[in-house]
Amino acid sequence: MAPGVAAPAGPRPARSPRTADGPARSADWLRIAALAVAAVAAVVAGIAFTGAAAPTALRDPGALVRWGLPIASTGAELAASATLGGLVLLATVLVRRDEAVVRAASGITAVAAAVWTLTAVVELVLTYANVAGLSPTDPAFGGELGQFVTQFELGRVLLFVAVAAAVVTALALMTTSPVGTAWVAGLVLVALWQSAQTGHAAGAASHDLATSSMFLHLVGAALWIGTLLALSPLAHRLGADLAPAVARFSVIAAWCFAAVAVSGTVNSIIRLGSWDDWTTRYGVLLLVKIALFGVLGLLGLAHRRRVVGRLAGDDRAVGWLFWRLVLVELTVMGAVSGVAVALGSSPPPVPDDPITDPTPAEIVTGHLLPPEPTTLSWITQWRWDVLLASAAVAGIVVYLRWVLRLRRRGDTWSWARTASWVTGMVLFFWTTSGGPAMYGHVLFSAHMVEHMILAMVIPVLLALSAPVTLALRALPSRATRAGAGRGAGRGAPDASRGPREWLLGLVHSRLGRFFANPVVAAVNFAGSMVVFYYTDVFRWALTSEVGHYAMVVHFSLAGYLFVNALVGIDPGPNRPPYPQRLLLLFATMAFHAFFGVALTTGDVLLVPDWFGLLGREWGPSAIVDQQRGGGVAWGIGELPTLALAVGVALAWSRDDERTARRRDRKVARDGDTEMDEYNAMLARLAQRDVPGTVEPRAPREP
């Protein structure tokens, strides 16, 4: 037991969570200090081991820069993690019924963001000193640094991250609401995306894959370490609300563990060319990292098995174990972050040098031309997109977990819907990482196949699997849970937002209802095709990763909202009567056909400096292929729309049957009041037509 720190017990009953006493506060600092010391020790040891900080023969910036830079980078990684973690605590993890706790969490987040800003600025300055081989004390340093941050990609990215950190600091002080902190967390993700574009991932080796997997890696690591790091100094204030917060963190940690493992494996495959490379200093350091990751996994398991479910009780032993685990976990997290930066600063076995003598396709797309497409190659050719592939796998895991949850409590869920969802996700996986993605980069017609499957085929499968309905049935509501007087006895409902509350918020938000509106969905679905192909958006989607993801997300969502408005099961849009739905559908079909014909008959090549410069020796010319793409848009586009029309007609007839059955039941129960009223009206009309009779007044409505 560390001297001077009282053994922190489990949640102390009947104690206000407002303030953390002396021993608790010093224990907080002990944990943060343990993380920081482990991180610095690990990065220094890692760098010393790989020799990444050895003096350079030419233009040596000096030891301060060579050793200071990796330490500053580690500090920036951890501070960015704590910032993201603090924002996630406020957005969804913390139980919200005590303003003092919310303010404390916001304070911790702002401090973390301020440290991030500082370390990001130091990292920027030392990076330039290291790149230029110039000591920061050199008189010319300032001027050159100015050029670095304005004229060089790396400088601009590092400046962007530092500015984003400063903006996050200010915003973290101003907003504590779940929605506000979620938006600020979005800005942190943008900064992490920029960070993922630097380092070895910026090199040529599998660039797209390297940056997207690095992004998943950085987010997974930051969320995992950051949430625990931000929770630790707060935990003493939470009292009985610590247990639900730890349980929610545990779910996040499990997903982060999976994300870090998958992306780490991909990073390793990119950086290591062969098994022998594991014996290099880089390889050995990576093995150390994987071992530390394994230790973290075991600690997480111990949490789950021994702490999470029992923290709500007053068992001091559990509380003691919890704090011990947190201290060890944060220390190991510090160490693995240090090793990570040492790895990022050391030359990997597979050099990330620019491609020498690139082919035209490599110059334009960054990739070699795939082989001529055959039926088989559409199945065998893969260009992995870690983010989208992980999203598809996560989509299947989450949906099946919800179905199992319903089953476990005795509720049923149609297997057809489950099969439809899984098929949709598998198709998404293939469309974004398989043949369509591979050929969609070099053939307009293949790009159109990718687009049509994303916007037309997959949404039909997803809309018919009613994911929102399932989610709302499977996910617990935060408000009802807290009211149950779980030890807190305080009974105030938990105003925090869990997955269920966020989903409901999204579906019922003004924006959600606007885009779910059937007319808006139809215009968005059909109109965005013209905007996409006949403006520079198409070029953006081809030439930048962000553009590519924006395209995939937009077309998938636009398709889902359109299909859901017509034949969906999920709540949300006010669906128009069936005749109008059919009208909307035929109008969209006509528009689609018109778009297809325009492409088929068009003779102006879209994005000519892409499709025209690939040096493709197989297949039709670029313009002929584009015209074929028009045929694909028409062909693949119309089939699902036709299926939708059949779907609407079937739903219509089923609805009619339901109405008829309802009416029959009412007639059987109350007699045919409608017919009676109708006959009475006819009688009155007949009466009126007899000459000389006074028209009796219709009885007044009660």
Residues that bind ligand HEM (CB under 6 A): 73, 77, 199-200, 217-218, 221, 225, 260-261, 264-265, 267-268, 271, 286, 289-290, 293, 296, 336-337, 340-341, 343-344, 348
Shortest distance in whole angstroms from residue 333 CB to ligand HEM: 6
Query: Residue 80 or residue 614: which is nearer to ligand HEM going by CB?
Result: 80
Whole-Å CA distances, 182 to 118, 187, 564, 574: 23, 9, 27, 28
By the 10 Å C-beta count (0-12 exposed, 13-18 middle, 19+ buried), 702 is classed as exposed
Query: Residue 289 or residue 497: which is nearer to ligand HEM going by CB?
Result: 289
Query: Residue 124 or residue 454: which is nearer to ligand HEM going by CB?
Result: 124
Provide the 8-state DSSP code for 477.
P
By C-alpha distance, which of 598, 638, 637, 605 is closest to 620? Answer: 605
Shortest distance in whole angstroms from residue 300 CB to ligand HEM: 10
Shortest distance in whole angstroms from residue 250 CB to ligand HEM: 15
Shortest distance in whole angstroms from residue 99 CB to ligand HEM: 33
Query: Residue 190 or residue 667: which is nearer to ligand HEM going by CB?
Result: 190
For the chain, the helix, strand and coil percentages under 3-state DSSP, each to the nearest 5: 75, 0, 25
Query: Residue 246 or residue 342: which is nearer to ligand HEM going by CB?
Result: 342
Phi, then psi, of 220 in degrees rounded to 5:
-60, -45
d(CA 59, CA 410): 71
By C-alpha distance, which of 223, 303, 221, 296 is closest to 262? Answer: 221
Phi, then psi, of 698 in degrees rounded to 5:
-65, 140
d(CA 577, CA 451): 29
The 3-class secondary structure across 357-382, one letter per residue, is CCCHHHHHHCCCCCCCCCCCHHHHCC
Q: Degrees (nearest 5) of the Cα angle 195, 199, 204?
A: 115
Residue 301's contacts (CB-CB under 8 Å, 6 or more residues apart) are none
Shortest distance in whole angstroms from residue 541 CB to ligand HEM: 27
Shortest distance in whole angstroms from residue 337 CB to ligand HEM: 5
Shortest distance in whole angstroms from residue 86 CB to ligand HEM: 17
Query: Residue 225 or residue 307: which is nearer to ligand HEM going by CB?
Result: 225
Supply 446's token pair.
Answer: 């293949």
Shortest distance in whole angstroms from residue 112 CB to ligand HEM: 16
Shortest distance in whole angstroms from residue 384 CB to ligand HEM: 15
Query: Residue 271 or residue 548: which is nearer to ligand HEM going by CB?
Result: 271
Query: Residue 264 or residue 630: which is nearer to ligand HEM going by CB?
Result: 264
Query: Residue 73 or residue 83: which is nearer to ligand HEM going by CB?
Result: 73
| Cβ neighbours around 266 below 10 Å, total | 22
Query: Residue 254 or residue 550: which is nearer to ligand HEM going by CB?
Result: 254
d(CA 597, CA 451): 17
Shortest distance in whole angstroms from residue 206 CB to ligand HEM: 12
Kindly tell me the sign of the dihedral angle through the C-alpha atoms of 554, 201, 264, 37.
Answer: negative
